[in-house]
Amino acid sequence: MSTPHPDEPSHALNVMPGVKGGHDGMPGHTRIVVPVSHHHRRRTVPVGELAEGVLSGDRVMLARAITLVESNAPAHFEQAQELLTRILPRTGGAIRVGITGVPGAGKSTLIEALGMTLVGEGKKLAVTAVDPSSILTGGSILGDKTRMEQLAAHPGAFIRPSPSGGALGGVARKTRETILLFEAAGYDVVFVETVGVGQSEVTVRSMVDFFLLVLAPGAGDELQGIKKGVVELADAVLINKADGASRNLALLSRADYERALHYIQPSTDGWMTPALAASATTGEGLPELWATVQGFLEHTRNRGFFEQRRRDQERSWMRAMVEEQLKERFFSHPRIQALLPELEQAVVEGRLPAASAATRLLRAFDGE
């Protein structure tokens, strides 16, 4: 282990190994670790060498590879895609687990506790996050680092904070590509944490094999700010903090959820979404939780759903990117920008049917 940088808490070094004195996920510190410029001081690592480094499990190379896929520079996009093409045959080997839940439910504490057990068994664990607030503010979930101190210091674990900047679609791409890099580097389990209050949980659900909803004891979903749809996306619901004074409440909440889940159409054929109770701080209930994950994977693998879900995810991801880029090109096109205001005005004032306006815009976009 390297010695801590004087400006940083000791755990931060393992969070982003190989990146000295800079938080590349933080605003104002976006660093280009794989520069294309020849004037840059730092040696350019050719994509082939980077791929070799990732495949050999080199943490520094992995960190640099993730920085490359997170870069918004067009030249880096090409390099990143070349890198991903090279490592693609060696991806897919990890169990991908998504964890959502309201702020403070204990997601990070749970990842730390479960993660320590897994690395203790000799598994290699990677953790990342999709932080919706980073999309707006450019910040990243700092809680991940502070709540996962033991994991961050463990050589079997690799923690990467949420990518920042851009729309949710951009963050989702970066996270998916980061998962591929983790797999190429030999990680056995990947955890993706997200706050379950918006659109990001749907995004994370679409990139994992198992999706866990973590709740605090007591309050119903409405009070916890969880949309009903999110419960339907979950492969298991966990009532956390089943310890001390909140233990009984957690057990009651678990029973409530179990009853409620009977009325919800589970997202996987033949799988009854279970409600579990556990404590991330005492560890009680965590073996049962992990057994549930294993049971689900067995269920889906035996029926071919596992591979099917992954294939569907890849397909819809590709289509979503096409849609997003088409939309972007459409609205930024000069002919559209010239026409849009007057057509929109005509629609708003009831002088032109909306469909006619849309057709005219699409014709203009096609150059007709």
Ligand X SMILES: Nc1nc2c(ncn2[C@@H]2O[C@H](COP(=O)(O)OP(=O)(O)OP(=O)(O)O)[C@@H](O)[C@H]2O)c(=O)[nH]1
- What are the residues binding Mg ion (CB under 5 A)? 107-108, 143
3-state secondary structure of 215: strand
Of the candidate spans 262-270, 279-287, 315-323, 358-366, the one that interacts with ligand X by CB under 6 A turns out to be 279-287
Task: Work out what residue 109 binds among ligand X, Mg ion, none; the CB cut-off runs from 5 to 8 Å by kind.
Answer: ligand X
Residue 276 · residue 288 · CB < 8 Å:
yes
Tell me: does residue 234 bind ligand X (CB under 6 A).
no
2 vs 146 by CB, closer to ligand X: 146
Backbone angles phi, psi at 120, to 5 degrees: -65, -30
Cβ burial, residue 366 (10 Å; 0-12/13-18/19+)? exposed
Q: Taking the complex as a whole, how short is the minimal distance between the CB of residue 34 and ligand X, in angstroms?
A: 30
**Pick from ligand X, Mg ion, none: which does 53 bind, CB < 5 to 8 A by kind?**
none
Region of 92 (left: φ > 0; alpha: ψ -120 to 50; beta: rest) is left
Q: Name which of Mg ion, ligand X, none residue 195 binds, using a CB cut-off of 5 to 8 Å depending on partner kind.
A: ligand X
**Part in contact with ligand X (CB under 6 A); list of ranges 36-44, 139-147, 170-178, 308-316:** 139-147
- Contacting ligand X (CB under 6 A), which of 128, 240, 253, 300? 240
Q: How far is the CB of 40 from Mg ion (least distance, A)?
A: 35
- Give me 333's structure tokens: 């096109």
Q: Specify the residue, 10 or 281, whose C-beta has the smaller distance to ligand X.
A: 281
At closest approach, how far in Å is the CB of 281 from ligand X?
4
CB of 108 or CB of 162, closer to Mg ion: 108
Three-state DSSP class for residue 96: strand
What is the footprint of ligand X within residues 189-228 (CB under 6 A)? 195
How far is the CA of 193 from the CAs of 126, 161, 237, in angstroms?
A: 11, 10, 15
Give the amino acid at 151: L
Contact between residue 70 and residue 242 where contact means Cβ atoms under 8 Å apart: no
Smallest Cα–Cα separation from 93: which of 49, 61, 135, 124? 124
Closest to 159 measured CA to CA, from 136, 138, 143, 135: 143
Tell the residue number behind the tokens 């959820």, with chain if given. 257
173 binds, among Mg ion, ligand X, none (CB under 5 to 8 A by kind): none
Q: How far is the CB of 250 from ligand X (least distance, A)?
A: 9
94, 131 Cβ separation under 8 angstroms: no
If one asks whether residue 250 binds ligand X (CB under 6 A), the answer comes out as no
Closer to ligand X by CB, 24 or 243: give it. Answer: 243
Binding residues with ligand X: total (CB under 6 A) = 19
- Binds 103: which of Mg ion, ligand X, none (CB < 5-8 Å by kind): ligand X
Residue number, 23 or 64, with CB nearest to ligand X = 23
Residue 160, interface with ligand X (CB under 6 A)? no
Taking a C-beta distance cutoff of 8 angstroms, is the pair 157, 119 a contact?
yes
The binder of 279, among Mg ion, ligand X, none, by C-beta within 5 to 8 A per type, is ligand X
Residue 254 binds ligand X, judged by CB under 6 A: no
Which of 203, 243, 305, 357 binds ligand X (CB under 6 A)? It is 243
Task: Please state the closest distance from residue 131 (CB atom) to ligand X, in A.
Answer: 8
Q: What share of the chain is helix, strand, coil (3-state, %, to 5)?
A: 55, 10, 40
CA 327 and chain centroid, separation = 23
Site for ligand X in 61-120 (CB under 6 A): 101, 103-109
Q: Determine the Cα–Cα distance for residues 159 and 361; give it in Å rounded to an integer.
A: 46
Contact residues toward ligand X (CB under 6 A) are: 101, 103-109, 141, 143, 147, 195, 240-241, 243-244, 279-281
